[in-house]
Amino acid sequence: MSILVTGGAGYIGSHTCVELLNKGYDIVVIDNFLNSKCEVLKRIEDITGKKFKFCKIDILDKEGLEKVFLENYIEAVIHFAGFKAVGESVKIPLKYYYNNITGTIVLCEVMQKYSVKNMVFSSSATVYGKVKIVPITEDFPLNATNPYGRTKLIVEEMLRDLYISDNDWSIVLLRYFNPIGAHESGMIGEDPKGIPNNLMPYITQVAAGKRDKLYIFGNDYDTHDGTGVRDYIHVVDLAKGHLKALEKIMVTKGIDVYNIGTGIGYSVLDVVKTFEKVTGKNIPYVITDRRLGDVDKCYADSTKAYKELGWKAEKSLEDMCKDSWNWQKNNLDGFVH
Ligand code: WQD
């Protein structure tokens, strides 16, 4: 019996594969390497000492997917594969809708055909859009404000309709807040192509001397120090949340949604100061204009995941900064773009 991990060579997918293998699961990984590297799969094996099956497949390749289901006894799917850059989604929305939504439709059709009806879906807090109050609970109104977020919202609704049409499905939607950090080994981590969109990889590249300074997008937000507040969660805590969700879908039918965050909001300056304290590195910065689409505050109330999945985040912002820097240092010249 195997767990199929789509996008398993990606940032969150690879960390989840490590936790799955360490827990004794057999896994099959599919990835098209558009936003990841084959080398990651070798590093997952090196970290865990475990072998696993891999197929280079795009989730839109129905025949290729069918072959995976024919050749392996898949009992559940953890579905990460998808495009995830907010800014890019504004520029090329059709590619995002086609890849993220049609790709999930193809996957679900093949799952249905082979009677595999257990899925953990990688969703995002971006489905909440601009919220009026925090912390955010799962029953907040949903209001994605960009094509990427809308693909996540549409897939959530599609999966709800799928369950209504066939109560044999067992689905958990995980809404991630801001995943950062890396595995303690420093062998896998976030490896953005080109200029990082997200805060932490930009900070680590400044620390590594690949960028001369951090640009802080606005300090006039309604927060304790004026800079944007987010719920940063260690990617290993996030990965462990997937194993708890997997346990749930293996024993209950239905569809449910959980916020996966720490419940603590940190500002950009909080992150910069913590990173400097933990690493001893100086992070020069300038304050620039706000970034279009950014919100003042966004952090989770994750008590539902604790009560129903028995999951809560354990790692601190210090851990996240330490592990992010360890990953960057170990991959200064080779692996990282
Ligand atoms: C965090 C804070 C920025 C970069 C995004 C996606 C979301 C999810 C997580 C997929 C904000 C500030 C950032 C920089 C800065 N991804 N910042 N300078 O925007 O909260 O969420 O990633 O699901 O969908 O929207 O994360 O890391 O881009 O920004 O000042 O160079 O850091 O303004 O306040 P964000 P982020």
Which residues constitute the domain of residue 64?
Answer: 2-181+233-261
Which of 178, 145, 152 lies closest to 300, judged by CA? 178
> Residue 213: CB within 6 Å of ligand 1?
no
Instruction: Say which of 11, 96, 128, 148 is annotated catalytic.
Output: 148
End-to-end CA distance of the chain: 37
Q: 193 φ, ψ to 5°?
A: -85, 145
pLDDT given at position 337: 41
Ligand 1 pocket check: which of 291, 292, 295, 296 to mutate, most ligand atoms within 8 Å of Cβ? 291
pLDDT given at position 71: 97
Residue 33 domain flag: yes
97 part of the active site? no
Does residue 66 carry a pLDDT above 50? yes
Which residue CA neighbors atom 8 of ligand 1 most closely?
A: 178
Q: Ligand 1: which atom is nearest the Cα of residue 215?
A: 18
CATH of the domain at 161: 3.40.50.720
> Residue 35: CB within 6 Å of ligand 1?
no
Residue 101 domain flag: yes
The 3-state secondary structure of the chain, one letter per residue: CEEEEECCCCHHHHHHHHHHHHCCCEEEEEECCCCCCCHHHHHHHHHHCCCCEEEECCCCCHHHHHHHHHHCCEEEEEECCCCCCHHHHHHCHHHHHHHHHHHHHHHHHHHHHCCCCEEEEEEEHHHHCCCCCCCECCCCCCCCCCHHHHHHHHHHHHHHHHHHHCCCCEEEEEEECEEECCCCCCCCCCCCCCCCCCHHHHHHHHHCCCCCCEEEECCCCCCCCCCCEECEEEHHHHHHHHHHHHHHHCCCCEEEEEEECCCCCEEHHHHHHHHHHHHCCCCCEEEECCCCCCCCEECECCHHHHHHHCCCCCCCHHHHHHHHHHHHHHCCCCCCC
Does residue 180 carry a pLDDT above 90? yes
State the complex-level ipTM: 0.97
How far, in Å, is the centroid of ligand 1 from the Cα of 230?
Answer: 8
Residue 85 domain flag: yes
- Is 80:13 a contact under the CB 8 Å cutoff? yes
Instruction: Tally the domains of the chain.
Output: 1
Which residue CA neighbors atom 13 of ligand 1 most closely?
A: 199
Tell me: the pLDDT tens digits for 18-59? Answer: 999 999 999 999 999 999 999 999 999 999 999 999 999 999
pLDDT given at position 1: 86
Q: Ligand 1: which atom is nearest the Cα of residue 214?
A: 31
Residue 268 domain flag: no
Which of 218, 237, 214 lies closest to 228, judged by CA? 218
Residue 129 domain flag: yes
CA distances from 289 to 209, 218, 220 (A): 24, 5, 9
Ligand 1 pocket check: which of 174, 178, 200 to mutate, most ligand atoms within 8 Å of Cβ? 178
How far, in Å, is the centroid of ligand 1 from the Cα of 190?
Answer: 14
Neighbours of 89 (CB within 10 A): 21
Residue 196 domain flag: no
> Residue 197: CB within 6 Å of ligand 1?
yes
Tell me: the pLDDT tens digits for 245-299? Answer: 999 999 999 999 999 999 999 999 999 999 999 999 999 999 999 998 899 999 9
> Residue 124: CB within 6 Å of ligand 1?
yes
Q: What is the mean pLDDT of residues 171-195?
A: 96
Tell me: the pLDDT tens digits for 217-246? Answer: 999 999 999 999 999 999 999 999 999 999
Q: Ligand 1: which atom is nearest the Cα of residue 227?
A: 34
pLDDT given at position 282: 97
How far, in Å, is the centroid of ligand 1 from the Cα of 271?
Answer: 12
pLDDT given at position 335: 44
Tell me: the pLDDT tens digits for 107-161? Answer: 999 999 999 999 999 999 999 999 989 999 999 999 999 999 999 999 999 999 9
Ligand 1 pocket check: which of 127, 176, 197, 198 to mutate, most ligand atoms within 8 Å of Cβ? 198
Does residue 17 carry a pLDDT above 70? yes
Average pLDDT of every residue of the chain: 96
Confidence at 105, pLDDT banded by 50, 70, 90: very high
Residue 117 domain flag: yes
Residue 245 domain flag: yes
- Is 13:7 a contact under the CB 8 Å cutoff? yes
Q: 320 φ, ψ to 5°?
A: -65, -40
Confidence at 336, pLDDT banded by 50, 70, 90: very low
The reported pTM is: 0.96
Dist. CA 140–CA 131, nearest whole Å: 8
